[in-house]
């Protein structure tokens, strides 16, 4: 067997070069993760001052639980994330199936569908704001939900389509041949086979929705009733970063990481098939 070709192995480089490379790598990771680590650590800091560690405590988490503004923002975020994820998952999955089944019409459609993934958030936010004002829609949670559906749809659709690329469409014909209606075929054959990708898409959409700020900020309308968690945090830090915010950010991060990890696991399972 031929030896696998790789970049120059570490061992062949001079010790000085190796040390420099390790140093650069460490600095990059430090830059990425030290702020996050500090934030998580400070959320457990009893003293509340960012400069001194004064013992482990969960009191900031407890005080979060007593902060009604944060709780209502968390509830709003959850509502927006769950509802927009549900709608986007349903529509995105159907869209993906539609495109893959009729691939000859798909080319132009494809660009239109994936545009929301590429267009800068701020552009999408302004566009949606103008659109809602033009239609005289009263803004609130429902407009945030619709706005989130716009980009979540694209993400769900692309995840499900990736799975459908390797989907054997003859099983759909086989199901019809064996006497199943189109709906039964979808329920008993198509959906179970693509389900891991659908769930992975939903988890991704959920994660994106939970920490989305710009679009929610533009489409939430006036008033505090439709404030989401990222908006609430933004409002709070204008008066300085409190340990409560650290605790809140830690929770949001934990939720996002869990959802993303699950999503990737499922997707890997899908590709492994």
Partner 1 sequence: MSEPRTLLSIDKVSKNFGRVTAVDGISLDIRENEFFALLGPSGCGKTTLLRMLAGFETPNDGRILLDGRDIARTPPNKRPVNLMFQSYALFPHMSVRANVSYGLEMERLPAAEIRSRVDAILSTTELVPFADRKPEQLSGGQKQRVALARALVKRPRLLLLDEPLGALDKKLRGAMQLELKRLQHEVGITFVIVTHDQEESLVMADRMAVLRDGKLLQCDRPHAVYEYPADRFVADFIGVMNFVPGKAVADGVMAANGTRITGKVPATLSPGAAAVASVRPERIRLFPKAQTANRIAGTVEALAYQGLDLQLHVRTALSPKPFLVRVTADAADRRPVSAGDTVELGWDAADVRIFKD
Task: Give phi and psi for 56, each to the nearest 5.
Answer: -80, 140
Task: Give phi and psi for 55, each to the nearest 5.
Answer: 105, 155
Nearer to partner 1, 119 or 162 (CB): 162
Nearer to partner 1, 133 or 181 (CB): 181
Nearer to partner 1, 111 or 271 (CB): 271
- At closest approach, how far in Å is the CB of 97 from partner 1? 17
Nearer to partner 1, 178 or 271 (CB): 178
Whether residue 270 contacts residue 196, with contact meaning beta carbons closer than 8 Å, is answered with: yes
Whether residue 129 contacts residue 219, with contact meaning beta carbons closer than 8 Å, is answered with: yes
Q: Which of residues 165-194 bind partner 1 (CB under 8 A)?
A: 168, 170-171, 173-181, 184, 188-189, 192-193
Q: Which of residues 120-159 bind partner 1 (CB under 8 A)?
A: none
- At closest approach, how far in Å is the CB of 182 from partner 1? 9
What 3-state class would DSSP assign to 56? strand
Nearer to partner 1, 138 or 273 (CB): 273
Task: Give phi and psi for 45, each to the nearest 5.
Answer: -85, 120
DSSP state of 115: H
- At closest approach, how far in Å is the CB of 194 from partner 1? 10
DSSP state of 215: H
Q: Measure CA 268 to chain center.
A: 17
Q: Measure CA 150 to chain center.
A: 13
CA distance 36 to 154: 29
Nearer to partner 1, 111 or 176 (CB): 176
- At closest approach, how far in Å is the CB of 102 from partner 1? 15
- Return the bridge partners of 2, or none: none
- At closest approach, how far in Å is the CB of 267 from partner 1? 17
Q: Does 98 engage in binding with partner 1 (CB under 8 A)?
A: no
- At closest approach, how far in Å is the CB of 61 from partner 1? 42
CA distance 140 to 135: 14
- At closest approach, how far in Å is the CB of 169 from partner 1? 9
CA distance 175 to 209: 36
Binding-site ranges for partner 1 (CB under 8 A): 168, 170-171, 173-181, 184, 188-189, 192-193, 273
């Amino acid at each position: 067997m031929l030896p696998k070709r790789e970049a120059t192995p570490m061992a062949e480089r001079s010790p000085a070069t190796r040390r420099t490379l390790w140093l650069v790598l460490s600095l990059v990771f430090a830059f990425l993760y030290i702020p996050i680590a500090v934030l998580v650590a400070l959320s457990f800091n009893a003293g509340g001052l960012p400069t001194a560690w004064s013992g482990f405590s969960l009191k900031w988490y407890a005080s979060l639980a007593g902060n009604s503004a944060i709780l209502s923002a968390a509830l709003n975020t959850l509502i927006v994330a769950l509802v927009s994820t549900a709608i986007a998952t349903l529509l995105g999955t159907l869209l993906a199936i539609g495109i893959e089944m009729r691939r000859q019409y798909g080319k132009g459609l494809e660009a239109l569908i994936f545009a929301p993934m590429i267009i800068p958030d701020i552009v999408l936010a302004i566009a949606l704001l103008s659109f809602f004002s033009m239609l005289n829609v009263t803004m609130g949670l429902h407009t945030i939900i619709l706005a989130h559906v716009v980009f979540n749809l694209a993400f769900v659709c692309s995840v499900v389509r990736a799975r459908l690329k390797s989907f054997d469409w003859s099983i759909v014909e086989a199901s019809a041949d064996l006497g199943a209606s189109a709906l039964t075929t979808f329920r008993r054959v198509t959906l179970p086979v693509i389900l891991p990708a659908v769930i992975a898409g939903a988890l991704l959409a959920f994660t994106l929705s939970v920490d989305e700020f710009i679009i929610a900020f533009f489409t939430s309308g006036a008033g505090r009733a439709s404030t989401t968690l990222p908006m609430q945090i933004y409002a709070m830090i204008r008066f300085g970063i409190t340990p409560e915010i650290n605790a809140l950010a830690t929770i949001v991060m934990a939720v996002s990481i869990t959802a993303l990890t699950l999503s990737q696991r499922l997707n890997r399972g899908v590709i492994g098939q």
